[in-house]
Homo-oligomer: A and B are copies of this chain.
């Protein structure tokens, strides 16, 4: 549990330019609504407008909903990251916590209006949007054209970059999301995800530790199975 001051300072340090005056910072600060949510909670955001959410601690998922109860995890986000949460469109979106999290919630329109006074803030927001766009496009390729094994391999490589830690020379990942979340992110079922874990484990490429731990024994082999384009065009 972080204090609001700690959270906002961290946010300002990462997403607001250093040169910003005290009064400008205070205005942004007044827009921030702190949300301290337990594990596995859906945030009740107003679906009528866009939001910006800063992850101070914990981990979250952004989920899109289709008919018949089908869900697609559109993005996972981790501490220090800023997320653009869209209003309801053809489909509706839900933001949920994967574990106990401290968040700062902004109304997008207000934030953007305030940012109009400083190009650097907009530039930073634009960078956030662009990196989300890149990840989303990568996900399209994964969902549209990759096999189940490739999807899990791509997922693990991505998570290794984002939340992996070095341990005894190997990368270790403590996955905050359940098999269901992984399945909903990769467009598969939990059974298929489980089977792919078994395959990678039997090949000696990864080792699983409990329910959430994954040790990447052979990162090269994992990348080779991720379906990346190897040669230059």
Interfacial residues, chain A to chain B (CB-CB below 8 A): 47, 50, 64-68, 70-72, 74-75, 84, 86, 88-94, 112, 115-120, 122-123, 125-126, 129-130, 132-134, 136-141, 143-146, 154, 184-187, 226-230, 232-233
Copy count, this protein chain: 2
B130 touches A229 (CB 8 A): no
Cα–Cα distance between A115 and B120 once the two chains are bound (Å): 10
A91-B229, A116-B123, A133-B84 in contact; A140/B139 too (CB < 8 A)?
A: yes
Contacts of A93 in B (CB 8 A): 137
Question: Which one of B68, B115, B227 lies within 8 Å of A66 (CB-CB)?
Answer: B227
Q: State which of B71, B89, B130 has its C-beta within 8 Å of the C-beta of A134.
A: B89
Minimum C-beta distance from A178 to chain B (A): 17
Closest CB of chain B to A177's CB: distance in Å? 15
List 8 A-B residue pairs with CB atoms under 8 Å apart, sorted by A's residue number: A65-B233, A66-B145, A66-B228, A71-B145, A86-B137, A92-B232, A115-B119, A143-B187
